[in-house]
Amino acid sequence: MAAVTTAIKVGVLVSQHWKKLLYVIVGLLFLIIMIPVAAISAFLPSSEESKAAEYKSVAEKGKLGWVEMMAFDTVRYENDFSSVDPNNTAFDFFYAKVDKYRNECVETTKVKGVWRCVERDWEFVETDVLNNKNDITAFLSDNNERYSPSDFKSVIESLDDLDSKRRYDIRFEKRHLSSLMASHGFSDDKKEWTLELISSGAIYEMYDLENINIVDADPTIYNSKGWVWPTVSTRITSDFGYRVSPCSGCSSFHGAVDVGATKANVAGDPIFAMDDGRILVSKHSTSGGNMVIIKHENGVISKYLHLMSRYVQPGMPVEKGKMIGRMGTTGYSTGVHLDFSIHFNGKPVNPLAYFEEVG
């Protein structure tokens, strides 16, 4: 009887206050939906395209990755770019090694009883590491270089000017994104968000639409082994073998071929698995950017570097011709391209030797 009485009382209250209860229920549902949305959106890029253009301009001068820089700042500043200067971010990603030399006399002769130097040469003294903006500013000030310390471009130009003089040999280096996130106290969640922004291609798709050409196509070139040429473009921009290193930290031996985009410097061309296999690596690296490595049969491995985005995970089986990502310019890269390599038992071989119709 008590339960019936309680039910009647509740029914009366509901009938009297149903509008207020409805508002409360709707409000609670709204909060349940919006709280996770707000949490996710805090780490999604919201900067205007003009800000992205600043990142591109600054990164280009130091041959840095604008996508990595922008993803890092999106998470670091919780998607608030209102007071962010890409010049300062560039200094975070960049440092310099300076080999110092002095002009020494290496041969003397006695002329009229006085010893005189007849031959001089440059002798190595030491290597200094300019780890941050303050170190670089002090070094340039000591050498009376005129520059704007807040402008990354002018700093690079001043260092280039000093590098042209025999007293110094200056090498530009790039910091690993993993160490940079660790030094800035990124939590595991923030690290994961940063890498996801890079690997998913979200930064490109938000801010570089004019330089993206999303093409969905099937492979068209097969070789005698049945292997698939890994993209729709056949425009080779850098051959296999020794070459002039395109950037500081890049090897002069190029154990791959670079394939340019179908539209020069426009990202988005599909990247295909060369053959059936299993994904060994799918990750972001400082030098290779978004990269995928596939293990095939008979000791064959294929590698795909500098991708805009990746669609596979380590351990996954992959079929020949499956799209594993899209062409981009992440990592140590001077423009949109695919760095494609084939390895037999750990040794790189020229891919064009197996795709004669491309070479």
CATH code of the domain in which 276 resides: 2.70.70.10
- Of 162, 182, 210, at which residue does a domain stop? 210
334 and 216 in one domain? yes
pLDDT tens, residue by residue, 148-183? 667 888 888 888 888 877 788 888 888 889 899 999
User: For residues 262-293, b (16+ Cβ closer than 10 Å) or e, as one string?
Assistant: bbeebbbbbbbbbbbbebebbbbbbbbbbbbb
Res. 272: pLDDT tops 90: yes
- Supply the mean pLDDT for the chain: 82
244 and 158 in one domain? no
- Measured CA to CA in angstroms, residue 323 lies from 249, 259, 338 at distances of 30, 16, 14
In which domain, by residue range, is 269 found?
A: 212-353
Q: φ and ψ at 33, to 5 degrees? A: -80, -45
DSSP 3-state of 253: strand
- Of 194, 210, 226, at which residue does a domain stop? 210
Residue 331 neighbours by CB under 8 Å, 6+ apart = 65, 68, 284, 285, 286, 287, 288, 289, 290, 291, 305, 306
How does residue 251 score in pLDDT terms, banded at 50, 70 and 90?
low
pLDDT tens, residue by residue, 105-134? 878 888 877 888 878 888 888 999 999 888
Nearest residue to 72 via CA among 185, 148, 155, 214:
185
- Structural domain tally of the chain? 2
248 and 152 in one domain? no
Residue 93 neighbours by CB under 8 Å, 6+ apart = 62, 64, 65, 68, 69, 72, 174, 175, 180
- The answer to whether 311 and 273 have CB atoms below 8 angstroms apart is no
Q: Is residue 263 in a domain?
A: yes
Nearest residue to 283 via CA among 194, 216, 219:
194
Predicted pLDDT at 113: 79
d(CA 56, CA 5): 71
Predicted pLDDT at 270: 95
Cβ burial of 23 (10 Å; 0-12, 13-18, 19+) is: exposed
- Of 177, 210, 243, at which residue does a domain stop? 210
197 and 66 in one domain? yes
Q: Is residue 109 in a domain?
A: no
Predicted pLDDT at 89: 93
d(CA 346, CA 349): 10
Q: Is residue 166 in a domain?
A: yes
219 and 202 in one domain? no
Q: φ and ψ at 77, to 5 degrees? A: -100, 15
- The answer to whether 143 and 219 have CB atoms below 8 angstroms apart is no
How does residue 359 score in pLDDT terms, banded at 50, 70 and 90?
low
Residue 200 neighbours by CB under 8 Å, 6+ apart = 309
340 and 235 in one domain? yes
| Among 4-8, 20-24, 168-172, 212-216, the range of highest mean pLDDT | 168-172
Q: Is residue 127 in a domain?
A: no
